[in-house]
Structure 1
Amino acid sequence: MLDRRLHRRDFLAQTLLSGTLALGANPLSASENKLPVLGQNQFQYRPVAGWGVLDDKTPVKNCSAMVVDAQGRIYLLTDHLANNVIVYDKDGKLINKWGTRFPGAHGLQIVKENDREVLFITDLNLHRVFKTTLDGEILMEVIYPKSTGKYASEKEFRPAWTLHLPDGDFFVLDGYGKDYIMRYNRAGKVLNYFGGPEGGIAHWGPHGGTIDTRGPGEPELVIAMSDQQTIKRLSLDGKLIEEIALPGSNPRMIQIVGEHMFVPHLADNWPKDRDSRGYISVLDRDYKIVSNIGGTPPRYVDGKLQPMRQQGSFFQHPHDLLVATDGAIYVPQFASGNTYPVKLVPETST
């Protein structure tokens, strides 16, 4: 858990961007061109003032993840027990909300199963993974993988995120527990596991990621290794393909968009500096950073990436992101003063 006291400057900036001054009025709604432009090269974005801010009937605590369904509805996962899942339209208006049973709500994925979409929610405190309908009916619970022999009890299992294959198999990243990666079939049966300390994965490692099916070879697991400040490329059976160092980062999740990857970093010097803040990186097909949104421009010396850091104090602690089909980026933030997600739009569209 983060414990961060906001500086007055940062509090005012976040309040303005949330549009919560003057009884909910948005003082910047008529002058969004005054908001900062973030990022470099072709990946530059401007925040949208007041997006997604709701009233006290729909509170948030830690905002940890966001996905979008086939109809364009945006799902936010928060660990506030008044409403674990908040459903927005693209303009930030409330469509629906549900969930009062996920105190450790953390990871969220949306998956197409035959003719329907379902959600996968990881809960750190309940030590399990839940599969639900889009409106919250629980369809399956995945408990700790006792059959692996690696867990003495369910309390050691604290799943961070799930990654999914087209055939229904999925991987669970135990990034807050014992750092194993388990593969399950669609019925929730363990098929394989790897990682952990004996598999070369240090603690506070496999937090989130994606499955890269862009080829030309076999699909790969691409894992955001959080406190290790790296991204690991693994085969589907856990063999290391490559490890990419990202000094001054803390990658939490990965989304592939065409030939690029978008990676939110919780902070630039975490966990050494608990007051450090985060940003978003955009990586090309060769895993070279081409833009740091809210961070310093990427710099390579003799092919080696130099340490990066947050710049401009816009973000607090980005934990996930959603890049929509129109190019907009939605960013939920963890332990950031109970603030709602932020939306950014490409600078070329403003």
Structure 2
Amino acid sequence: MNNQLNRREFMKNTGVLAGAGMIRGTSKPVMPKVGEVIIGHNSHRYKVVAGWGILDAGKNPVNDCHEMVEDAKGRLIMCTNETKNNIVIYDKSGKLLDTWGTTYPGAHGLTIFNEGGEQFLLICDNARHQVIKTDLKGKVIFKIEYPKETGVYDAPNQFVPTETAVNPKNGDIYVADGYGSQYIIQYDAKGRYIRHFGGASNEYTDDKFNCCHGVLVDTRDKANPTLLITDRMNNCWKRFTLDGKFLTVYHLPGTYICRPVLHGDYVFGAAFRSGDSSWNNSGYIQVLDKNMKVVSTPGGSVPTYKDGVLQRQHKDDPHNVFMHPHDVYVDSDENIYIPQWNSQKTYPIKLERLA
């Protein structure tokens, strides 16, 4: 059976309406135009752009669409674990510009960064148990193998990296071993080991993790940058110093959140699922302000605080826009793009920001 959605199925699954009506799940009622689907709350509401980025699956298939970044030319670069084209490059209209990569069966994490006036990528491949630095055309610069220098890893298969972050001040690389031994490993810009911290705990512990799926160097406080790290099974993000000391936690009840993504004063995250009794196709997006308060949950329930505590959230989307969002990219026009995991080999979804 061909699992790739055709255009009609995509339109149905993203909930493009045949007529006008009132959209639920927003903080204020919105009367959309014919054919529009609007999701989100408060200051961050979005219109679903139907059909964006759909390609010929025979020529350019995807499997899991994991993460997306933008280069200096405005190209949107996405990784997928489909080895016919691990890297898929779009323009913002959804047109295919280029593809490359056939040797990344576990392509999962994707980070772009500047170094010496040039841009590079870091690819986390959790099937190869490696982090690979490449240029934007796919040339391999170096590989980070399993971190035997730590003394806590005995074999490569214990290292299953999911995400990286780069400190823009000195080029240090932070690797989140989110599907492996649950450590954050810090390297210098050349890939040389500096330190590690964290580790696994099935019970909630401030300085340990149960799926440290994502990591971000949070530069909003320019004088004092810190790390935001996912603790996905505990429904939270945790803040650490750059040398690995725990600072605080931000609880996101009901939300199995992926990596934190910084855009201006806001942090965005994709929830690949929520805490619903049936978690299949239960994902949504979260938007947090500079105070780390949830202001919008596109595809999810209205964010509600009682006595300063965020109440448990869940999927609330009659149009079923999302299945399992895995990442969020925000462009210069405040539009967002969502690659999805385990979502019937569908291409990314674009949401257009409403004023």
TM over 0.5: yes
Amino acid at match of 1:46: K
Amino acid at match of 1:43: H
Amino acid at match of 2:295: V
Amino acid at match of 1:288: K
8 Å contact kept, 1:131–1:139: yes
RMSD: 2.4
8 Å contact kept, 2:81–2:104: yes
Amino acid at match of 1:307: R
Question: 1:54: Cα distance to partner?
Answer: 0.4
Helix, strand or coil: the match of 2:295? strand
Q: Structure 1 stretch 216-225 or stretch 61-70: which is displaced more? A: 216-225
Separation in structure 1 between the aligned mates of residue 53 and residue 259 of structure 2, nearest angstrom: 21
Matches within 5 A, 1:31-46: 33-46=34-47
Separation in structure 2 between the aligned mates of residue 32 and residue 280 of structure 1, nearest angstrom: 23
Instruction: Provide, for residues 47-94 of structure 1, a one-character-per-residue CA deviation record: whole Å limited to 9, x for no partner.
Output: 111110000200000000000000000101000010000111111111
Point out where structure 1 has 5 or more consecutive residues left out of the alignment: 1-5, 20-25
Identity %: 38
Separation in structure 2 between the aligned mates of residue 332 and residue 130 of structure 1, nearest angstrom: 21
- 1:316 maps to what in 2? 323
Separation in structure 2 between the aligned mates of residue 67 and residue 300 of structure 1, nearest angstrom: 32
8 Å contact kept, 1:32–1:48: no
- 2:21 maps to what in 1? none
Tell me which stretches of 4 or more aligned residues in structure 1 moved more than 6 Å.
Answer: 10-13
- 1:212 maps to what in 2? 218
Amino acid at match of 1:314: V
Matches within 5 A, 1:115-194: 115-166=117-168, 167-194=170-197
Question: 1:224: Cα distance to partner?
Answer: 2.0
Helix, strand or coil: the match of 2:274? coil
Separation in structure 2 between the aligned mates of residue 244 and residue 232 of structure 1, nearest angstrom: 6
Question: 1:223: Cα distance to partner?
Answer: 1.1
Alignment partner of 1:79 out of 78, 81, 105: 81
Question: 1:347: Cα distance to partner?
Answer: 2.2
Amino acid at match of 2:54: V
Separation in structure 2 between the aligned mates of residue 162 and residue 139 of structure 1, nearest angstrom: 16
Alignment partner of 2:11 out of 16, 40, 43: 16
8 Å contact kept, 1:18–1:49: no
Amino acid at match of 2:119: E
- 2:28 maps to what in 1? none
Separation in structure 1 between the aligned mates of residue 139 and residue 278 of structure 2, nearest angstrom: 40
Point out where structure 2 has 5 or more consecutive residues left out of the alignment: 19-31
Amino acid at match of 2:294: I
8 Å contact kept, 2:281–2:322: no
- 2:61 maps to what in 1? 59
Alignment partner of 1:259 out of 229, 249, 265: 265
Instruction: Provide, for residues 256-307 of structure 1, a one-character-per-residue CA deviation record: whole Å limited to 9, x for no partner.
Output: 222211111111127x744151111111111111111111110111111111
8 Å contact kept, 2:207–2:246: no
Helix, strand or coil: the match of 1:314? coil
Amino acid at match of 1:337: Q
Question: 1:204: Cα distance to partner?
Answer: 3.6
Separation in structure 1 between the aligned mates of residue 86 and residue 33 of structure 2, nearest angstrom: 30
Question: 1:202: Cα distance to partner?
Answer: 4.9
Closer/same/farther in 2, CA of residues 194 and 93 from structure 1, 3 Å limit:
same
What's the TM-score, normalizing by structure 1?
Answer: 0.89
8 Å contact kept, 1:17–1:50: no
Separation in structure 2 between the aligned mates of residue 187 and residue 204 of structure 1, nearest angstrom: 29
- 1:104 maps to what in 2? 106
Separation in structure 2 between the aligned mates of residue 276 and residue 83 of structure 1, nearest angstrom: 25
- 1:230 maps to what in 2? 236
Count, aligned residues: 331
Amino acid at match of 1:84: N
Separation in structure 2 between the aligned mates of residue 121 and residue 336 of structure 1, nearest angstrom: 21
- 2:24 maps to what in 1? none
What's the TM-score, normalizing by structure 2?
Answer: 0.88
Helix, strand or coil: the match of 2:297? strand
Closer/same/farther in 2, CA of residues 110 and 14 from structure 1, 3 Å limit:
farther
